[in-house]
Amino acid sequence: MRVFIYLNLHRRCLSVRSEDRETRGRVIAHVDAVELENASFVVSQAGRQRALREKRKNVHAGIRGELVGWLESGASIADKRPWQQKVRRMRGVGVTYDPYRYSTFVDRATREPVFKSARVVALGSSVVARKTRVPT
């Protein structure tokens, strides 16, 4: 199933929105962790400009990809441990986004833009991406 995930600041979790034809645009889950394949990091520049202009956050950025699995919101600490280990063991780069600093998602260490990844694991606001590619 193709989905779009974004950080939900009101619920303090990740929201998973369907990209499939029948349920497109519907939030299908609120989760603490999610894993995606063939992911792309998406920022609506119009939405970003609106956030900068109004100085109010809005949903204008997220990650689109094929859903591999998720951990329901409100899970116990014991349920989160395997996801924490998965994030630590995954060979990849930390990814972040701040509309006031960057126009795209960026590698936390190098600040280089990140657009695509073969696999992404997000645990709360911590995002790790494997095999990131920067357009040439």
User: Which pTM was predicted?
Assistant: 0.89
pLDDT tens-place values along the chain, 136 residues long: 999 999 998 888 999 999 998 899 999 999 999 999 999 999 999 999 898 999 888 889 999 999 999 999 888 889 989 999 988 888 889 999 999 999 999 999 999 999 999 999 999 888 999 865 555 5
Picking from 9, 13, 10, the residue whose alpha carbon sits closest to that of residue 99 is: 9
**Per-residue b/e over 30-61, b at no fewer than 16 CB within 10 Å?**
bbbbbbbeebbbebeeeebeebeeeeeeeebb
Q: Which helix (H) or strand (E) holds 45?
A: helix 45-54
Angle at 109 between CA 107 and CA 113, to 5 degrees: 25
